[in-house]
Amino acid sequence: MNKFSFFEATSVEEALEQVNSTVSATIQPNASPGASVLKAGGIDLLDLMKEGLSKPEKLVSINNIPQLKEITFDEKKGLSLGAGITLAEISANARIKADYFALHQAASKAATPQIRNMATLGGNLAQRTRCWYFRSKYHECYRKGSSTCFAQIGENEYHAILVNADCASVHASSLATAIMAFDAAIEITGKEGKVKIVSMNEFFVSPDVDRKRETILEAGEIITAVILPKVKENMKSHYIKMGERESNDWPLAEVAVVVELNGEKCKKANIVLGAVAPVPLVSESAIEAIKGQTINEQTARAASIAAMTNATPLSQNAYKVPIFETIIKRALLALL
Amino acid sequence: MKEKKSNPRQTGSFSRRGFLKGAGITAAGTVIASSGVLSLHGQAPDTNKTLGPDTITISMKVNGKMRKLSIEPRTTLADALRIKLQLTGTKVGCDRGSCSACTVWIDDLPTLSCMTLAVEVGNREVTTIEGIAKNGKLHPVQEAFIEHDASQCGFCTPGMIMSTAHLLDENSNPTLDDIKSATRGNFCRCGTHPKVFVATLDAAGKM
């Protein structure tokens, strides 16, 4: 890692006074020197720095800001999770397990026990893709501003099978898959305490919109909370991750489903796929197929096949299609 | 030191660790004392809290003892333990948070020392593999690992023990699945997992 100075912030305001860059801006080949960036758990940031991709001159730690550790419940707004709570804390939270089961599952299955003790909710959502071309300092890939996505003709075993024409990376956050399925919102605080609330769809940026970033976060902004809407009666959720190894691994495919049931009939559904595209993807086709239907083997299968109709696998990742078809079906049937 | 450096292998009493230690001190340069580090966690903010980028002196509680050490903000906890404090029981495998060989406890939570900056430890307590034996007696998990021959090359063993010993401290009657979950992050390329599981179950029975 390059040399850097270190500042520990005790409040959001203090942290934002210190930063002048996003981590993403430091990864660009023409990154300007003197960058000062936020550091939470550091799992993603230190990795980028150790690989020589990011060379900030100052790290501003946000690990000891009480506001970011708060979990609050409001009858109207729902459950607000401070961005600084760890994956282990999400996994151990009884209310999350009872009301937002898919999120509990996603947090419990992500990474390793050690990483879950360190990694934060906000950092998990803001982390960069694990595409090996993006993570290699020798490859000036599409996501670093060039016009070449090396995965298109290179090694693309773990890459995207949907919306993969420009950049075939997959989004790295498993939590995002589950959080998006609950229609959650993200609270972002800017300088002078300006707060904005955005939907998960607005938060993630597709490479065709802006290739150099994965979220809308600007320098001087920080995720302060994730707000999960209050659960409705008859709402159920489930999350499935399939990896190469059972012990711990990045997902090859993952799905989160949240439905409102009327008996076994699906009144309303949200189906979100992860490890499938450069951003977590709401599968409109699968939702359309299952909405208003009684959930059973046949309808669940139809929805899962609908989700993959537009798949455009690359040379090495067509195997992902049947995996998605299987886990979408299984997740829907698990709700019964 | 220069003589040793030029031809270390001819010096009978010279050890590789000694050489690294000596080289470290030479490279450290100016030591700027800073009181900021101790007040990092939950105490009054300093007027100028920016530390580094050059060497700073911090205090850290490791295995029950306060230690003073000179580091740069970029020094990882793993490097601080191994190079500065000579606590070489903690191993660094991947240095990217993937293998968990570097697992230590920070305030009793298994944590990756390779992905933790030493400067961020503050007043939290670090426990390494060297610190889990009590009153000259090995931790029951350590004894069980020896008894069941639960290591081959041994490189993953300290991390593996920090994971399983933490599990037993939390849950003295774990199932096999609990042990598998606790060691989910600990890679072993020799394939000792079956013996790790048996040793941990055996240690649980003896606690």
Q: Is residue B22 part of a domain?
A: no
What is the three-class DSSP state of B118?
helix
Q: Which residues of B touch A247 (CB under 8 A)?
A: 180, 184-185
> Does the distance separating the beta carbons of A50 and B185 come in below 8 Å?
no
Q: What is the pLDDT along chain B (207 residues), one digit of tens a residue?
A: 344 444 433 334 444 454 444 444 433 333 333 333 434 444 444 546 899 999 999 999 999 999 999 999 999 999 999 999 999 999 999 999 999 999 999 999 999 999 999 999 999 999 999 999 999 999 999 999 999 999 999 999 999 999 999 999 999 999 999 999 999 999 999 999 999 999 999 999 888
Both B36 and B117 in a single domain?
yes
Q: Return the residue of B nearest to A51 by Cα.
A: B96
> Does the distance separating the beta carbons of A8 and B52 come in below 8 Å?
no
Q: Is residue B6 part of a domain?
A: no
Among B117, B119, B185, beta carbon nearest to A114: B185
Fold of A235-333: Enolase-like; domain 1 (3.30.390)
The backbone torsions φ and ψ at residue A193, rounded to the nearest 5 degrees and listed phi first, read 70, 15
Residue ranges of domains in chain A? 66-126+171-228, 235-333
Q: Return the residue of B nearest to A117 by Cα.
A: B111
CATH of the domain at B109: 3.10.20.30
Q: Is residue B9 part of a domain?
A: no
A34: contact with B, CB 8 A cutoff: no
- What percent of chain A has a predicted confidence (pLDDT) above 70? 100
In sequence order, the β-bridge partners of residue A281 are A273
In total, how many domains does chain B have?
2
What is the 3 state secondary structure string of chain A?
CCCCEEEECCCHHHHHHHCCCCHHHHHCCCCCCCCEEEECCCHHHHHHHHCCCCCCCEEEECCCCHHHHCEEEECCCEEEEECCCEHHHHHHCHHHHHHCHHHHHHHHHCCCHHHHHHCEHHHHHHCCCCCCCCCCCCCCCHHHCCCCCHHHCCCCCCCCCCCCCCCCCCCCCHHHHHHHHCCCEEEEECHHHCEEEEEHHHHECCCCCCCCCCECCCCCCEEEEEEECCCCCCEEEEEEEEECCCCCCCEEEEEEEEEEEECCEEEEEEEEEECCCCCCEECHHHHHHHCCCECCHHHHHHHHHHHHCCCCCCCCCCCHHHHHHHHHHHHHHCCC
Q: Which residues of A touch B185 (CB under 8 A)?
A: 111-115, 247-248
Both B119 and B45 in a single domain?
yes
Give the residue numbers spanning the domain of B41. Answer: 31-129
List pLDDT tens digits, range A231-282.
Answer: 999 999 999 999 999 889 999 999 999 999 998 899 999 999 999 999 999 9
Question: Complex ipTM, two decimals?
Answer: 0.95
Q: % helix / strand / coil in chain B, to the nearest 5?
A: 40, 15, 45
- Distances in whole angstroms, Cα of residue A11 to Cα of each of A61, A122, A267, B171: 10, 15, 43, 36
Domain end call among B129, B149, B181: B129
Please tell us whether the domain made up of A66-126+171-228 is placed in CATH 3.40.140.10: no
Both B101 and B44 in a single domain?
yes
- Distances in whole angstroms, Cα of residue A332 to Cα of each of A228, A288, A296: 21, 14, 8
Q: Which of B184, B186, B192 to mutate to test the interface with A (most CBs of A within 10 A)?
A: B184
Both B103 and B68 in a single domain?
yes
Q: Is residue B11 part of a domain?
A: no
Q: Is residue B154 part of a domain?
A: yes
pLDDT of residue B31: 35
Among B41, B54, B103, beta carbon nearest to A114: B103
Both B125 and B145 in a single domain?
no
Domain end call among B82, B108, B129: B129
Per-chain mean pLDDT for chain A: 97
> Does the distance separating the beta carbons of B116 and A43 come in below 8 Å?
no
Both B157 and B95 in a single domain?
no
pLDDT of residue B6: 40
The Cα A302–Cα A95 span in angstroms is 33
Q: Which residues of A touch B57 (CB under 8 A)?
A: none
Both B109 and B148 in a single domain?
no
Q: Is residue B71 part of a domain?
A: yes
Q: Which residues of A touch B41 (CB under 8 A)?
A: 64
Domain end call among B129, B155, B186: B129
A61: contact with B, CB 8 A cutoff: yes
Q: Return the residue of A nearest to B116 by Cα.
A: A42
> Does the distance separating the beta carbons of B184 and A1 come in below 8 Å?
no
Q: Is residue B51 part of a domain?
A: yes
Both B123 and B151 in a single domain?
no
The Cα A111–Cα A251 span in angstroms is 10
